[in-house]
């Protein structure tokens, strides 16, 4: 018995080893990690909804993936009147809402509003709030809990109903860490095609029929062995088959509505995380990942790399999603990358490419590919095998070269040295049987570089000492002496019997083949530029040249038309290989991946790891275009191969959606949901807008780019940074039609999808209404000002008339008081003098005549003052300051009194009222006469100044002074009276000398 057990174990081990040698073709592997935005590297529940999102539950938050970016729902504003969802358990959807289970109840996600609400499903039925959704049927979401109470929730009526108690052993807990080694979420209930809800325990299978409400336990009839323990389950709707992974009985399949049983792979233990889709089955046994076809014949086995993997799910296009615990999600695409590669290939020969790289690619007669002169690659089934059993090196690049001759279907292989000097060339026929061999002296000819073949001419061989022809009669190489011989690198075949030979550290030479074994150098191509490869575009009569400075486009005469390098978007500039495809694109490999250039539009597309390049760096001369148009490019970790034209044909319709809008750094909430937003009306100061627009495409989202333009301002599309919002700052008032589009590097075309119209209103003073109001106000003010001006003008004219009348009255009064009285006195004195003369009283008459003389002189002075005060200030000789100086000179000039005059001459232009001027002059005269007659002073100062409100006249002497109460004359009284006429203030001090100070207001009523 022990021997039999050991034999079984050996057979099982041998089967696994054999499985590992087989594969399911080319595939690619992508990852979504915390670097891509996942909130956590462990994702326990996976769900693809009908809108094209993948939902992942983590311990800390719910995550949503759209194909290029991850959104984490951990902020309060996503949850309306409920706590944020952390660990979720299971998903279901009804078309408008997504339902997520939790230990708090059932979370309901509204797609339109992008927010969650919480329903306490088991409020009436259990103290435990846990609710786990199963699916949607009959307008209801079907739910269970730890006690397996089956509840329905009517999504329209919002009614909750307890439907049944499922006779299943209760769950200790739904928490992922409290599962006793056999977790329930590997055996989640599901809705089958026969309208049953199927529950899988560790020992039993129980179904609940939605139509009859009956409970059935089919496992009791079909699985008699009580030792069978179910560990995982997956339901295939297409085949109506339930796949059960067990702990110790391999794989069990229930078919025909659970009526038929099949058992497979009995030797496998602990099958967990099983999933089924179309033609594939994937599951994990212990630490090994198995991927089978439905017939369980073709398989791929991963012994390493998936030790921590669980939660296996196929998406709608057949890709396998695997949770790599702690690291994130791994996505295995069995169709391979757009740029097919070998980096994810299994087996030692495939893995050897990662170590040695690929620099030699040759097409064989049967269209298989010889890689590195050691390995035969079959692109049809993505397999590799050794080239020949007697070859010593299969996993290392021999640094030899192989060339297929399409005209003879021969394979020429250049080997390493077989002696100190000799190297060998082995020739194989189309069946890869050795046909011939040649040797050459490497010491003399140098290192082999390249070989080309012609249909009617001998092959040309390039060695480091020159170009050679092989004389098959003598079996010797003959040098072509008409071509430069130092370090030829690569021979390019052109039309019209021409070749272009590139050299290391020399110009590329254009050579004409003039006849059998006759070669003539006819020119240089791109002088002073290190050129390697040239491709001829016969249709456009142009040439494309790969150099160490980028790609050059030449016209038919080899004149430079355009240079493509890092300055205009080419990712790499040291070109390792160039190929023209059959659809108008030039492809080039370089130190930064692969690039293509459209030969018509000159649009450059750069390809990176997301597109499937084997690695950033490629190898020189490691490129080939096969007879059926497939392009191969070898690099440091393998090779890429693809057949143009390349285009994205996606199962998922690429869609732009608006995820968030910020206005002045505040989140904008739309009542109909942010993605339905078409137009925004904003105030003038709401002019800093941030729009987060994303691309939803689970298949090719990472290979598409978001474009935008402000359509009504600029028709040019601009590329948006991936995952970064469009920030529009300090927008001027106006309308902005912001259009978003999608493009990809394979077509270069932009597909416009969404427009948001921004209306930023003007500030009120910029509006038309404001200018109407302002114009009306200005017109009103202007009319008012004109009316006011007219009124003031009339008022001033009236004042001037009144002032003129007042001046006339004053002049009349002065003439009457001063001149009139003086004339009357003169008349009387004249009569008295006449009478005294008649009476011969000569002495008395003389006294009267002297009195008449004095009165006449005073009359003349008074008349002079009146006439002066009436004159304009424009006459500099008649200004107020000049008049005061003249008066002081007249009165004090012949006396012993020293006088000083200090006058602010700007006052001359300020005092224009003749009565003011006259009173100032008369007061000054009166004061100076009093100084001369009574003061006994020897110094006098006369000051006329101003301050903000007044003009100040001050006359000061250093005489004996006087007692104002003993004054008997009229001089002081006259000065006070004249001051009052000016509405001024009169101040007199007479202690140590006399000071008269008069304040005359500048403005008077």
Residue-wise pLDDT tens digits, 125-137 = 999 999 999 999 9
User: What's the rounded mean pLDDT across residues 10-20?
Assistant: 42
Residue 298: its pLDDT value, please? 83
Please choose, from the candidates 745, 758, 751, 600, the residue with its C-alpha nearest in 3D space to the C-alpha of residue 679: 758
Rounded CA-CA distance 923/596 in Å is 107
* pLDDT confidence bin for 16, thresholds 50/70/90: very low
Least confident of 151-160, 241-250, 658-667, 922-931: 922-931
Please choose, from the candidates 624, 576, 577, the residue with its C-alpha nearest in 3D space to the C-alpha of residue 404: 624
* pLDDT confidence bin for 12, thresholds 50/70/90: very low
Rounded CA-CA distance 143/232 in Å is 20
> In sequence order, which ranges of 409-544 are alpha helices (DSSP H)?
442-445
Angle at 603 between CA 597 and CA 604, to 5 degrees: 55
Non-local CB neighbours of 467 within 8 Å, separated by 6+ positions: 460, 461, 479, 480, 483, 485, 488, 491, 501, 519
Residue 874: its pLDDT value, please? 54
Asked if 571 and 583 touch (Cβ cutoff 8 Å), the reply is no
Which DSSP symbol is given to 131? Answer: B
Residue 7: its pLDDT value, please? 43
Rounded CA-CA distance 839/828 in Å is 17
> In sequence order, which ranges of 437-549 are alpha helices (DSSP H)?
442-445
Least confident of 309-318, 719-728, 802-811: 802-811
User: What's the rounded mean pLDDT across residues 414-426?
Assistant: 78
Beta bridge partners of 56: 46, 63
User: What's the rounded mean pLDDT across residues 816-833?
Assistant: 64
* pLDDT confidence bin for 889, thresholds 50/70/90: confident
* pLDDT confidence bin for 45, thresholds 50/70/90: very high
* pLDDT confidence bin for 990, thresholds 50/70/90: confident
Residue 402: its pLDDT value, please? 94
Reported as a single tens digit per residue, the pLDDT across 585-623 is: 999 999 999 999 999 999 999 999 888 999 999 999 999
For 658, the token pair is 């608006």
Least confident of 132-136, 635-639, 679-683, 747-751: 747-751
Q: Judge whether residue 4 has pLDDT over 70.
A: no
Q: What are phi and psi of 253, to 5 degrees?
A: -120, 125
Residue 9: its pLDDT value, please? 42
Long-range contacts of 222-226 (CB under 8 A, 24+ apart): 222/254, 222/258, 222/259, 222/261, 223/252, 223/261, 225/249
Residue 865: its pLDDT value, please? 64
For 859, the token pair is 């009359």
Rounded CA-CA distance 663/201 in Å is 52
For 716, the token pair is 């040019």
* pLDDT confidence bin for 254, thresholds 50/70/90: very high
User: What's the rounded mean pLDDT across residues 49-66?
Assistant: 96
* pLDDT confidence bin for 768, thresholds 50/70/90: confident
Q: Judge whether residue 632 has pLDDT over 70.
A: yes
Least confident of 149-158, 235-244, 712-721, 879-888: 879-888
Mean pLDDT of the chain: 88
Higher-confidence position of 281 and 971 = 281
Residue 336: its pLDDT value, please? 85
Least confident of 467-476, 825-834, 892-901: 825-834
Reported as a single tens digit per residue, the pLDDT across 188-206 is: 999 999 999 999 999 999 9
Give, in order, the Cα–Cα distances in Å from 434 to each of 372, 404, 412, 422.
18, 14, 10, 19
For 603, the token pair is 């649009």
Rounded CA-CA distance 500/491 in Å is 6
User: What's the rounded mean pLDDT across residues 649-671?
Assistant: 93
Residue 429: its pLDDT value, please? 93
Helix axes 768-814, 914-930, angle to 10 degrees: 50
Residue 368: its pLDDT value, please? 95
Q: Judge whether residue 639 has pLDDT over 80.
A: yes
């Amino acid at each position: 018995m022990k021997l039999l057990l050991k034999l079984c174990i050996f057979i099982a081990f041998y089967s696994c080893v054999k499985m590992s040698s087989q594969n399911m073709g080319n595939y690619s592997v992508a990852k979504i990690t915390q670097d891509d935005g996942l909130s956590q590297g462990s994702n326990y529940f996976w769900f693809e909804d009908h809108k094209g999102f993948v939902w992942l539950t983590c311990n800390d938050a719910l995550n949503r993936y759209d194909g290029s970016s991850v959104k984490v729902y951990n902020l309060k504003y996503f949850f309306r009147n409920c706590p944020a969802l952390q660990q979720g358990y299971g998903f279901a959807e009804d078309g408008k809402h997504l339902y997520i289970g939790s230990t708090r109840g059932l979370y309901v996600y509204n797609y339109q509003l992008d927010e969650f609400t919480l329903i306490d499903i088991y409020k009436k039925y259990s103290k435990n709030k846990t609710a786990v959704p199963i699916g949607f049927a009959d307008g209801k979401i079907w739910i269970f809990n730890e006690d397996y109470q089956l509840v329905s929730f009517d999504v329209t009526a919002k009614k909750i109903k307890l439907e049944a108690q499922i006779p299943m052993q209760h769950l200790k807990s739904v928490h992922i860490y409290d599962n006793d080694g056999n977790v329930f979420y590997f055996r989640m209930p599901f809705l089958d095609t026969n309208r049953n809800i199927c529950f899988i325990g560790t020992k039993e299978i129980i179904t609940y029929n939605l139509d009859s409400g009956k409970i059935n336990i089919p496992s009791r009839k079909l699985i008699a062995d009580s030792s069978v323990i179910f560990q995982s389950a997956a339901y295939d709707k297409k085949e109506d088959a339930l796949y059960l992974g067990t702990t110790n009985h391999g794989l069990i399949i229930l078919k025909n509505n659970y009526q038929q049983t099949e058992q497979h792979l009995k030797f496998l233990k602990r099958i967990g995380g099983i999933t089924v889709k179309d033609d594939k089955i994937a599951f994990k046994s212990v630490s090994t990942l198995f991927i089978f076809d439905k017939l369980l014949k073709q398989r791929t086995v991963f012994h390493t790399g998936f030790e921590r993997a669980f939660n296996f799910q196929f998406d709608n296009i057949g890709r396998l999603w695997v949770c790599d615990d702690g690291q994130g999600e791994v996505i295995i695409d069995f169709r391979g990358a757009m740029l097919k590669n070998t980096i994810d290939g299994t087996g030692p020969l495939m893995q050897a490419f990662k170590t040695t790289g690929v620099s030699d690619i040759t097409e064989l007669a049967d269209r298989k590919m010889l890689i590195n002169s050691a390995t035969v690659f079959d692109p049809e089934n993505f397999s590799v095998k050794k080239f020949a059993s007697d070859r010593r090196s299969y996993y290392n690049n021999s640094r030899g070269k192989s060339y297929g001759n399409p005209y003879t279907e021969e394979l020429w292989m250049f080997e390493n040295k077989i002696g100190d000097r000799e190297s060998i060339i082995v020739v194989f026929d189309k069946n890869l049987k050795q046909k011939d061999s040649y040797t050459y002296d490497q010491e003399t000819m140098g290192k082999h570089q390249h070989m080309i073949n012609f249909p009617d001419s001998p092959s040309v061989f390039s060695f480091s000492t020159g170009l050679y022809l092989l004389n098959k009669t003598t079996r010797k190489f003959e040098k072509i002496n008409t071509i430069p011989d130092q370090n030829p690198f690569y021979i390019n075949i052109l039309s019209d019997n021409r070749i272009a030979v590139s050299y290391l550290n020399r110009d590329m030479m254009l050579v004409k083949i003039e006849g059998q074994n006759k070669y003539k150098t006819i020119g240089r191509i791109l002088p002073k530029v290190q050129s390697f490869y040239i491709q001829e575009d016969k249709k456009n009569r142009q040439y494309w040249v790969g150099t160490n400075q980028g790609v050059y486009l030449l016209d038919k005469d080899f004149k430079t038309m355009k240079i493509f390098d890092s300055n205009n978007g080419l990712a790499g500039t040291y070109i390792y290989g160039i190929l023209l495809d059959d659809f108008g694109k030039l492809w080039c490999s370089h130190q930064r991946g692969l690039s293509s250039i459209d030969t018509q539009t000159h649009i450059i597309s750069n390809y990176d790891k997301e597109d499937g390049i084997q690695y950033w760096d490629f190898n020189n001369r490691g490129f080939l275009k096969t007879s059926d148009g497939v392009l191969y490019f070898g690099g440091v970790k393998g090779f890429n191969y693809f057949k143009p034209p390349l285009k994205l044909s996606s199962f998922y319709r690429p869609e732009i959606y608006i995820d968030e809008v910020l206005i002045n750094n505040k989140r904008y909430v739309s009542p109909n949901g942010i993605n339905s937003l078409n137009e925004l009306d904003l105030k003038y100061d709401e002019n800093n807008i941030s729009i987060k627009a994303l691309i939803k495409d689970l298949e090719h989202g990472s290979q598409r780019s978001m474009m935008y333009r402000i359509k009504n301002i600029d028709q040019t599309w601009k590329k948006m940074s991936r995952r970064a919002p469009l920030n529009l700052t300090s927008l001027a008032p106006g309308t902005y039609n912001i259009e978003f589009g999608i493009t990809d590097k394979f077509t270069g075309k932009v597909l416009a999808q969404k427009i948001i119209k921004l209306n930023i209103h003007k500030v009120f003073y910029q509006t038309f209404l404001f200018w109407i109001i302002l114009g009306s106000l200005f017109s009103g003010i202007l009319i008012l000002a004109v009316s006011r001006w007219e009124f003031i003008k009339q008022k001033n004219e009236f004042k001037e008339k009144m002032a003129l009348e007042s001046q006339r009255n004053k002049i009349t009064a002065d003439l009457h008081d001063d001149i009139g009285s003086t004339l009357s006195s003169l008349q009387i004195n004249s009569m008295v003098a006449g009478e005294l003369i008649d009476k011969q009283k000569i002495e008395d008459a003389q006294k009267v005549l002297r009195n008449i003389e004095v009165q006449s002189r005073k009359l003349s002075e008074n008349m002079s003052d009146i006439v002066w005060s009436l004159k304009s200030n424009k006459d500099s000789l008649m200004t107020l300051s000049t008049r005061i100086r003249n008066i002081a000179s007249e009165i004090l000039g012949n006396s012993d009194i020293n006088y000083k005059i200090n006058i602010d001459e700007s006052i001359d232009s300020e005092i224009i009222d003749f009565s003011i001027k006259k009173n100032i002059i008369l007061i000054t005269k009166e004061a100076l006469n009093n100084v001369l007659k009574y003061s006994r002073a020897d110094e006098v100062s006369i000051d006329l100044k101003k301050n903000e409100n007044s003009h100040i006249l001050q006359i000061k002497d250093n005489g004996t002074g006087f007692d104002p109460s003993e004054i008997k004359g009229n001089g002081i009284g006259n000065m006070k009276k004249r001051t009052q006429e000016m509405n001024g203030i009169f101040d007199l001090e007479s202690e140590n000398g006399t000071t008269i100070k008069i304040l005359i207001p500048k403005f008077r009523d």
